[in-house]
Structure 1
């Protein structure tokens, strides 16, 4: 029986997979060319990590290799990522090409001489070359290689002979990486301006379902549809994460052995999901966190957690491009508007947890000895309004030292999301050892944040917002009511962060809102941040 595999190229004999035949056909057409006699295209193949780039291009290579009129070769370049000498890289590539094709090495010593490998004096038939992990090379090497390929391409385009009789027999080339080698980080501009781009998209909902249907057919174990829906909603079809959740659900991990005789249920998903969020390592997620916490990208990532407004997506903005190419963010389209969103709720949750703990792993002294907390917590439930009052007092008392090193915008004001991180850690600390569960939810994938609290058999929903004006506040009340309905809650809290609250305004704005359409009651509560 096959299994789910979340690391490395998929083996179709051993692992569940999605055929992606149309994508492979497109790659073949690009490399072979619409009119092969005239030559193929020089393309880049890109997507964030673990999206199936290498697998798609392996399948493309095998399909192209069926044509005996071409050499088809795929080289791995990751081992050259620490090599700074571009001439040494060129020499290594030339050596590997001639070795695998059984040709005489022309003795390439530098980047300029790499063209010798592709001359018709050496090659006996056109070559389609695939270079994996191309963007792992140094910028100087990328620029040099792209320049060589561009010159060969232009020479072939001006050569009237058919492809197999041209001076250079580099028929087509694919450069695989997490970005499309557009030269955005090269101050001299892009040297590879003839390339096309093949983007490897995430799995669709139907493709995600098909992987679990394959498992059901081979194992005989039912996977409830709501579980598959949860996997897709949390991962948005990111192939590596879909397969990772598939692994955890069907094989478990060291602390969890799944029951293969019963259908895989929502309860099973919640078990492995909690572990995936808090304790289980995943190379893809660790890589995303490592990119998100780097400067100058960290500030933008934290800003994405803000709830007041969306941020426009601009592909040519270096920070946005970097985060997009590395799977941290994605582009959300609404009509003619394009805005930034996190790549998926699971990634957003892992980043929220990371930054919350990084910034506020110590919250200071929350309670005095023998302090009475019965106004906030009892054996039967929580008083959320009083919990927020406690937080506001704690914030006022400890703000100076807690936020001393907090990330700030250019105007030196603290990022909006930092207060959300702080509240999350405060609630976690306050409810520690109380048999309570606290977790964030991100229903839209952009700045909208909700905190959920499970305590004494009850679920409490807190929608976090930053107050801007009265009209926005009224809209927030309605949105909170609709969200409460999706959670099947009769009551939900709207927590509004604001710099200060003038005397009398708290009483005016903290009135219960009864939403007639949903039947949900919204309790607003304001938190003064003191900025």
Structure 2
């Protein structure tokens, strides 16, 4: 039996997964059109799961696309030479993985190329892809390479400019290019990435924002459980889960996990609002990775407190302005969002409660100063 996933990568054979069919179709259409895409969302919103499922769907639709999936999470402290040396190994491993999955072998010439060719900098990386494209398509129908890079934010700063320059060179090179499409995945949108736009192939128009679950998607997710197990959720329970979480994927799954695995509700009994109330209290008072990330993030900068207090007070409101560094950072962490009136809002009621708990002494007027986490017991930095 599948479960509701709350940690790490979600796998369709082990977990209930929202199909996100509309978003997947949009993403695939951009790949086919040769776009260079930025897919961004706060951590723990299902980015990695989404793009892997999208690439799997693309592979089923059209075998002429050759997906290479990379992850830059380990590279932040690398020097450029070490970065490119490791990048070459990871690219070659991914190429081998695709051939194995297709139950085919690379040509002898391509196999020799993968063994003997080095990548030492951004120029040799571009040349690698150019030659790889030629060898990949020899004797077969044309193959279009799709490169996706998870945790792109961790690329070494010293390597960033050259890396982007080479991708831009490829992007502007003409109709036939390798990679045909590139997707970078991270927690920052294009406007928040700190690099010179003149050297980048990524445009605001090709930014792909992955939203939280809609009510219909929460219904779809919980409906999968009902179809497999036979236990139903009362409609008001589903609506309340969505309202309290605003569709935040980890919180939705955590709610469902408590209700279906931890409360010992007989599987023949419909899950009601009485059950929901107990699960809601357990979620608020318990510990989970998503809430821990939230509380850690809001403590990172003492300036966050005053802004969050102003947002929660709702007297005058705070304009949602991503050019403001504090607002931009809190939005990147997934703490706040833009409301329908253009003002800042806390993402969901659960986060609002937890933030009030974090700042409770200040909210009660018991303390005048707030010390960030990088202080000792006496408040010294």
TM-based fold match above 0.5: yes
The alignment yields a C-alpha RMSD, in angstroms, of 2.4
1: CA distance, partners of 2:261 / 2:268: 13
Are 1:6 and 1:243, in contact at CA under 8 Å, matched by a contact in 2?
A: yes
Task: State the SS of the aligned residue for 1:333.
Answer: coil
Question: For the residues of structure 1 that align with 2:298 and 2:370, how far apart are their CA atoms?
Answer: 16
Q: 1:11: which partner in 2?
A: 11
Structure 2 unaligned residues grouped into runs of 5+: 97-113, 137-142, 372-381
1:116 aligns with 2:116: no
Larger radius of gyration: 1
On the 8 A contact 2:24/2:54 being kept in 1, the answer is yes
Choose the corresponding residue for 1:268, options 263, 275, 279: 275
Contact 2:167-2:201 within 8 A present in 1 as well? no
How far residue 99 of structure 1 moved from its aligned partner, in angstroms, is: 3.1
Q: Deviations over 1:424-474 (max 9, x none)?
A: xxxxxxxxxxxxxxxxxxxxxxxxxxxxxxxxxxxxxxxxxxxxxxxxxxx
Contact 1:76-1:131 within 8 A present in 2 as well:
yes
Structure 2 residue 63 is matched with structure 1 residue 58: no
Matching of residue 301 in structure 1 with residue 308 in structure 2: yes
Distance 1:217 1:403, change over 3 A: same
- Which residue number corresponds to residue 208 of structure 2? 198
1:249 aligns with 2:259: yes
Match of 1:257, SS state, is: coil
TM-superposed CA distance for 1:137, in Å, is 3.1
Matched residue, 1:349: 353
Match of 2:109 in 1: none
SS in 2 for 1:405: coil
Change (3 A) 1:7 1:213: same
Query: 2-side partners of 1:228 and 1:117: how far apart?
Result: 50
Cα separation, partners in 2 of 1:285 and 1:147, compared to 1, 3 Å: farther
Matched, 1:240 2:250: yes
Q: 2:38 maps to which residue?
A: 44
- Partners in 2 of 1:7 and 1:145 — Cα distance? 32
- TM-score, length-scaled by structure 2: 0.82
Structure number having the greater strand percentage? 1
1:100 is matched with: 94
The verdict on how the C-alpha distance between 1:144 and 1:351 changes in structure 2, with shifts beyond 3 A counting, is farther
Pair 234,121 (structure 1): closer, same or farther in 2 beyond 3 Å:
closer
3-state DSSP of counterpart to 1:330? strand
- Partner residue in 2 for 1:2: 2
Residue equivalent to 2:225: 215
Partner of 2:167: 149
Give the corresponding residue for 2:73: 78
> What is the deviation of 1:184?
4.3
| Structure 1 stretches of at least 4 aligned residues deviating more than 6 Å after TM superposition | none
Q: Establish whether residue 132 from structure 1 lines up as the match of residue 141 from structure 2.
A: no
Show the counterpart of 1:284.
Answer: 290
Secondary structure of the corresponding residue to residue 54 of structure 2: helix
**Corresponding residue of 1:405:** 369
User: Any idea what SS the aligned residue of 1:129 has?
Assistant: strand
Task: Give TM-score scaled by structure 1 length.
Answer: 0.60
Rounded to whole Å, the distance in 2 between the matches of 1:324 and 1:111 is 32
Residues 310 and 317 in structure 2, CA contact (< 8 A), matched pair in contact too: no
1:373 corresponding residue in structure 2:
none
Report deviation, 1:307.
Answer: 3.1
CA distance in 1, matches of 2:222, 2:152: 33
Give the superposition deviation at 1:297.
3.3
Which residue in the other structure is 1:511 paired with? none
Q: CA deviation at 1:21?
A: 1.3
- Give the drift of 1:321: 1.8
Q: CA deviation at 1:190?
A: 6.8
Partner of 2:379: none
Q: Partners in 1 of 2:313 and 2:7 — Cα distance?
A: 33
- Which ranges in structure 1 are unaligned for 5 or more consecutive residues? 34-39, 364-394, 396-401, 408-531
Task: Tell me, in whole angstroms, the C-alpha distance in 2 between the residues paired with 1:190 and 1:283.
Answer: 38
Structure 1 residues 183 and 8: alpha-carbon distance in aligned structure 2, compared to 1, 3 A threshold:
same
